[in-house]
Chains A and B, each alone.
Chain A
Amino acid sequence: MATSTPNALQEADRHAVTMGQRLSEFWYYFSENRGAVIGLWVFVFLVVVAILAPLLAPHMPQQQYRDAILVPPYWQEGGRAAYLLGTDAVGRDLLSRLLYGARFSLFIGVIVTTLSLTVGIFFGVIAGYVGGKTDTFIMRIMDVILAFPSLLLALVLVAVLGPGLINAMIAIALVLQPHFVRLTRAAVMSEKTRDYVVAAKVAGAKPLRLMFKTILPNCMAPLIVQATLSFSTAILDAAALGFLGMGAQPPTPEWGTMLAEAREFILRAWWVVTLPGLAILVTVLAINLMGDGLRDALDPKLKRS
């Protein structure tokens, strides 16, 4: 950047100021929503747990202790200090598995959201900007995907691709991306005729630049809100697939898969059933709380009401 002209620097500076202003304005509205802030803190906590799982976990998540099968949590009769939240049917420490499970859930959320967001934006921008037959074609395909119940479609897709975490993520991303396509398309279509776009067009901007550099950044607000929604949906759906035996495969400590393995013990060992589900709920709830806050902060129409 050493060769930047003063002019360009000024430009960057101005940009930074507006970004800073926007951010502080955003934070003002976001922090007004108490739930959203709590959600954010919980989410940050989960991220930390996921990153530090190897340090925090007292045991390896797949280590089986043959002398400690279905040991109840520490505070219950028969519980042991070595296994704070008890053990599962093959003697694995539940706490360690839950901690490692946070990694999988967040990983699923990040990958699925990124994947569906990128693909969705790409097709959405094209459909919205190009219009005509291309638009019709893309939107009909999206209609087809949306015609199936998402979980059923994902289930069959995973059956096609073969059960496993990666395939489950691909399937979920595929069923989630039409929402992004629709949103992007609608936003692009409404922005397309705005003055600044027309001006850029007259100034000779190439279509690709117009689509992705000029128009897209101005359509981000609804996409961000949708992305948080997708994040939580991805975690829920991946867990559901795991629960049905089509997601992550044992012995992966994915929460949904853990629930599926625990189902047998539903009336005998409440902890193996209750805790993984609670972990899913807390994670999804935190993200949805954040999503609500984001929507309030980003959507000017709702802001007023």
Chain B
Amino acid sequence: MLRFFFGRLAVLIPTFIGVSIVAFAFIRLLPGDPVQLMSGERVMSPERYEKISHELGYDRPIVIQYLDYLGNVLTGDFGRSLTTKEPVLTIFAKLFPATLELSLCAIIFAVVLGIPAGIIAAVRRGTVIDQTVMGTALIGYSMPIFWWGLLLIILFSGVLQWTPVSGRISFSYFFQPVTGFMLIDSLISGQKGAFKSAVSHLILPTIVLGTIPLAVIARQTRSAMLEVLGEDYVRTARAKGLPPLRVIGVHALRNAMIPVVTTIGLQVGVMLAGAILTESIFSWPGIGKWMVDSVFKRDYPVIQGGLLIIASIIMVVNLIVDLLYGLINPRIRH
């Protein structure tokens, strides 16, 4: 197992270096001189231009700039935002709980609905139920989620007026964040209705972000279940006359869950990509929206640092999924 772990880690390091080069190179390639952009219509004197370029280190050889950057990154310094001048990591830390809260809710939503739906479809294979579930899943899988979000807003916020349009909580509630998770913070605050408000703000974004993982999980569960249900030991269990629920619940499900767990792990990347769109639609103050805004503002260090942090998170999560998979399924290790 240790060898397996180190083998994976050895792959991770060159990938990380590659990721850092990509993140760094992108920013160097972005059109538009960042120093020039800072001044807009106002003409900057050549001395001032030089001074700012120098302060930002843009006047040094590119290889040196990269090595410096890598060195800084390894000590946790991802640079500072050009607009707010705050360290990228600090901003990330402030915004990440919002994305995490939304992503966790979305994954719970997807798992809680997706796994039972997949099981039912597999057990009732070929019936109308199966077809309905799988048809719905395919629609979900094909959904342009930015449009899905707008549709839900039209229906639930516009026509029915059940849910708010955007944000994490109504502006009439105010409290200091303790955990960064609005659901928990609103409970801690003890303010009447705050929790309810936080929940109502979460509903639509959760559905939107959870839609594609839900579809993927349902489909994956169904096919994994079908495979397992066809295996000898399940047939034997059935033949022995064990109650069907027990067969499905205990024998089949446990084995079918291995690929499903992997799928769930792999949804992290999907989630972060989805967060870009979901957060933009619902003005959700998380890292997805932050990245989009920074691209438009050409906030180079943020784009750079954000790409690197996000990619690192995905790599680490994938590593964990790999290891878990290796743990559950020893065959993989060799």
Contacts and interface: CB of A to CB of B under 8 A. Distances in A.
Contacts of B310: 148-149, 152
Contacts of B19: 144, 147-148
Interface stretch (B168-176, B198-206, B241-249, B273-281): B273-281
A287 B158 CA distance: 32
B291 A152 contact: yes
A144 B22 contact: yes
B323 interface: no
B154 A156 contact: no
Chain A interface helix/strand/loop/mixed: helix
A281 B142 contact: yes
A245 B311 CA distance: 23
A148 B310 CA distance: 7
Interface stretch (B43-51, B63-71, B133-141, B185-193): B133-141
B233 interface: no
B76 interface: no
Chain B interface helix/strand/loop/mixed: helix
Nearest to B230: A305
Nearest to A259: B147
B292 A149 contact: no
Of B11, B135, B146, B310, the most chain A CB neighbours within 10 A belong to B146
B144 A147 contact: no
Of B11, B18, B273, B277, the most chain A CB neighbours within 10 A belong to B273
Contacts of B31: 160, 162
A140 B273 contact: no
Contact of B30 (A152, A160, A239): A160
Contacts of B276: 149, 151-152, 155, 244
Contacts of A90: none
B315 A243 contact: no
A160 B30 CA distance: 4
Interface string B143-157: 110111011011000
B14 A270 contact: no
A256 B277 CA distance: 12
B182 to A, nearest CB: 23
Interface residues of B, number: 48
Contacts of A266: 150, 153-154, 158
Contacts of B311: 147-148
B234 interface: no
Interface residue tally of chain A, by bracket? 35 or more
B100 interface: no
B290 to A, nearest CB: 11
A284 B269 contact: no
A281 B143 contact: yes
Interface in A282-302: 284-285, 287-289, 292
A209 B227 CA distance: 38
A226 interface: no
A284 B143 CA distance: 8
A271 to B, nearest CB: 11
Interface string A247-274: 0000000001001000100110010011
A289 to B, nearest CB: 7
Interface string A128-148: 000000000000110111011
B283 interface: no
Contact of B272 (A149, A273, A281): A149
B219 to A, nearest CB: 9
Contact of A152 (B138, B144, B272): B272
A149 B146 CA distance: 16
B26 interface: yes
Contacts of A280: 144, 147
Given A232-B142, A273-B150, A148 B314 contact: yes
A151 B141 CA distance: 16
B15 interface: yes
A277 interface: yes
A281 B15 contact: no
Contacts of B138: 35, 285, 288-289, 292
5 contacts: A144-B19, A145-B22, A243-B146, A244-B292, A305-B223
Interface of A: 35, 140-141, 143-145, 147-153, 155-157, 159-160, 162, 232, 236, 239-240, 243-246, 256, 259, 263, 266-267, 270, 273-274, 276-277, 280-281, 284-285, 287-289, 292, 305
Given A239-B146, A284-B142, 10 more contacts: A148-B307, A152-B273, A159-B298, A160-B29, A236-B142, A240-B144, A243-B147, A244-B292, A259-B147, A288-B142
Interface of B: 11, 14-15, 18-19, 22, 26, 29-31, 135, 138-139, 141-144, 146-148, 150-151, 153-154, 158, 223, 226-227, 230, 269-270, 272-274, 276-277, 280, 291-292, 295-296, 298, 303, 307, 310-311, 314-315
